[in-house]
Amino acid sequence: MFNLKLLQKNKTLKYGVPMLLDPSLEAKVNIQRQPVILEEEYEKLKETNLDEWKNIRGPRPWEDSREYQEQQRRKLSNKD
């Protein structure tokens, strides 16, 4: 007799089998990925202006994100 709960708890079936099936699914979908070239990414970073970069903290899980965003916007508009 087949025990479905044991199959659902089996990590090899849950995580391993989809990894084995992924290349065949990828071939069916025919996804063409462009390789990321390190030099191109470096050139993009060189063009960015890091002197004007500001680190803005996001809301904590217990904070209301909309209220916090409004506070941050008010602080930035007051500084300018």
Where along the chain do its domains lie?
Answer: 8-32
pLDDT at 31 over 80: no
Q: Which residues, including other chains, have CB under 8 Å from residue 65's CB and lie 6 or more apart?
A: 58, 59
**CB environment 2-17: b (16+ within 10 A), e (fewer):** eeeeeeeeeeeeeeee
pLDDT higher at 33 or 41: 41
Share of the chain above pLDDT 70, in %: 80
Coil, strand or helix: which one is 51? coil
pLDDT at 51 over 80: yes
